[in-house]
Structure 1
């Protein structure tokens, strides 16, 4: 990714043993990712010729095996910004390694690279839906500006010891309308971005059971929300963020009965954060003991069009348009080895700031998924799921949970999207005191790194490519 990435301390619980369930059996009651109701089946080509076409505004389904590289084609015009995402959704119980995941690339038919990105599970055994995207920004002197057919390339990275089965794959092509008049291209000054979180909400908690993925994510807004998540499950929520608004989250994981009070899972609880185009933002995780509460805190910069041109970090550039942002909360299968039943979860969400006027689009930004409407705010307040009508019944089954928060706080500074991790006690085998989670926090494109930056991109943008947008890359140390 172009531009310097934030320097992040490398070792999150580096000295801990990583216990990975040997069996690849689906945990009892674990929920599988629910694909889009209107997803069209496609079959990726093993060659750059013959890739099936993906149309803007549509969602597609396929599957991908270990080490496979699949090609699809997309037609780009000369004016619109293109954002094309891929979701890998292995079944619960699938064995995965730390670096297993997806590599995405968008290139022209003559081999010019438009952008690239990658995403992985960030911990052994941390199977869950993961997503990232590639993009083409329409701008003077940018890469891949000619109208025509381009290749979307999806590669699955898989360790030899990981499960050999195919992963369900979901592809989505979103097209952001061009601007009717020029918008600012000067990114915000790092020093001007608020990093001090406000006091978390203390309202009476409402029960919201999260969905299985992006397509049935349950709406939340400013407030306190409770859920119960079984080991091996991930619950998805979505929150509408308009121009100028800033998001803060405190996810609290409560205690539960345990069979062994010395057991723990070093990446037992996790929060993934995505933008409206399913662009990956961050994935902080925390150790979970079962008889001790834990918490994860996360925040993003105010939503601004010019964030996509930022050059001082790897993640905030993805907070570059209004729309539905997604929060995915996971409890690892490993927790099920010592905890009895689901983990109580409490989400305290703050939306700071009133909506501001956004850029003037030459097209319907709301229809394309890059705006927030009054109906969206109503659906969030009612807890309506993404695939349900706004009748106030979208939250489905809601279960009350009781959660606590650890006293220790770990600060993760990404210079774009900041994540804070809280721990109550020092983990055996790890250096004493709080540690920064450098290796477990990825970021996505559009981040403060010069245009949509990719997950943790700290490496320089490839030679011969313009500075906007940079390639998405991984900056694990």
Structure 2
């Protein structure tokens, strides 16, 4: 400011200030109307642009390895099951995993519901991992009977990134059917493996329950399904920016999607897959413009997870600087009875809902071909008509997690989270109404102010 009479200026953006002596606005009524109108428009725009802050932060430096769910509760894993803190179905939790030993958590369950706990392990930036290093999740009942065991490993690329394993308590088996306390134990897959650094990892845990069937359905997996390798979906790619975590996964539906990915980065997408539908995905990595030569094994890793964040299948794409592609193996239609299959990738396709595509580009790519970004194309196909699912005896927790709603489909078409899509539409309608009312009121105020200045 240059003096008392110059309360504000516009230099590429609105700037306001109080008069130094009187504390009054130094504006004419007409200017106030224009500024208020701009505030309504700009405020509404800022409110409905999802991911704006994340995009700005990403542009400023190295992408964060994982975006934890907003509102996740902090919980400490116990060394003894006797001290295990409870995980409530529907809750999301943040914890940590030491380099050695187990940490345990407790689930208090009834005798009717299936329960699932997914654990996402996030190695610290700059850490090193071995081929067989990873995270192991075990669920046991109060008597020490093992209900399930699952392990996720980093694989040949040895690139640290978020990986997830899940635990299951199912009421249909011979064990783990009683109501009571169950314990989820988490440990490193191979903390002492050659090349693994003894760092503490962050954890994100989610717990959910699935009700039993009101009427008993099939008790064996479907024997016949179309297992032919599907042709990759064709078409012009549309840009769709991936999220940085499961909770912020970007919705996508059937289509060809293009994104930029950097070495060390992991991107998350959510695909609604209904009962009776098959999903197939081909991932492509564009050629490098560096002119370098070399080879990175499993440079691009693509994993498919079910709505409970249990891994279904994966594919690794090696890279030598030329364009490369890889496809997930043929997968059966989503069916409640798939859970009775002996093959894990069939058993995991047991419920409808948002299935997650998680793409990771190995850190090693940067050693030969530079920091990128590299163009990644995902060709996503969901074939088959949706059909009705099982008749559940109650509601899942969280509600609606094992179904595909019209809102989910609309969100996938728009590329925003279902809740955000609803909020955007409501804000668009409400914002226009509120903004119009405000402008009308400001218009009346302007007329009155002008009359006062002419009398």
Q: TM-score range by the shorter chain?
A: 0.7 to 0.9
Distance 2:130 2:313 in 1: 18
Mark the runs of 5 or more structure 1 residues left unpaired by the alignment. Answer: 1-26, 394-477
User: What pairs up with 1:29-48 in 2 under 5 angstroms?
Assistant: 29-48=62-81
**Cα pair 2:251 2:411 within 8 Å, conserved:** yes
Which structure exhibits the higher relative contact order, with contacts defined as CA atoms closer than 8 Å and separated by 6 or more residues? 1
Q: Does 1:295 align with 2:329?
A: no
Tell me which residue corresponds to 1:382: 414
Distance 1:137 1:103 in 2: 19
Q: Does 1:205 align with 2:243?
A: no
**3-state DSSP of counterpart to 2:149:** strand
**3-state DSSP of counterpart to 1:381:** helix
- Could you say which structure has the larger radius of gyration? 2
**Cα pair 1:93 1:232 within 8 Å, conserved:** no
Q: Are residues 88 and 386 of structure 1, via their aligned partners in 2, closer, same or farther at CA, if it must alter by over 3 Å?
A: farther
Deviates more, 1:363-372 or 1:353-362: 363-372
**Cα pair 1:101 1:156 within 8 Å, conserved:** yes
RMSD over aligned Cα atoms: 1.9
- Judging by fraction of residues, say which structure has more helix: 2
**3-state DSSP of counterpart to 1:306:** helix
Q: Does 1:166 align with 2:209?
A: no
Q: Are residues 69 and 386 of structure 1, via their aligned partners in 2, closer, same or farther at CA, if it must alter by over 3 Å?
A: farther
Q: Does 1:271 align with 2:305?
A: no
**Cα pair 1:96 1:124 within 8 Å, conserved:** no
Distance 2:269 2:314 in 1: 15
User: What pairs up with 1:124-139 in 2 under 5 angstroms?
Assistant: 124-139=157-172
Distance 2:300 2:157 in 1: 13
Q: How far is 1:160 from its partner?
A: 5.3
Tell me which residue corresponds to 1:342: 373
Mark the runs of 5 or more structure 2 residues left unpaired by the alignment. Answer: 1-59, 426-455
**Cα pair 1:384 1:391 within 8 Å, conserved:** no
Distance 1:257 1:368 in 2: 45
Deviates more, 1:214-223 or 1:276-285: 276-285
Q: How far is 1:156 from its partner?
A: 1.4
Distance 1:228 1:174 in 2: 33
**Cα pair 1:284 1:296 within 8 Å, conserved:** yes
Q: How far is 1:204 from its partner?
A: 2.7
Q: How far is 1:202 from its partner?
A: 2.2
- Aligned residue pairs total 361
**TM-score in terms of structure 2 length:** 0.76
Q: How far is 1:131 from its partner?
A: 0.5
Deviates more, 1:359-368 or 1:81-90: 359-368
Q: Deviations over 1:81-137 (max 9, x none)?
A: 111111101234321111111111111122111111111111252211110111111
Distance 1:199 1:117 in 2: 31
Tell me which residue corresponds to 1:308: 339
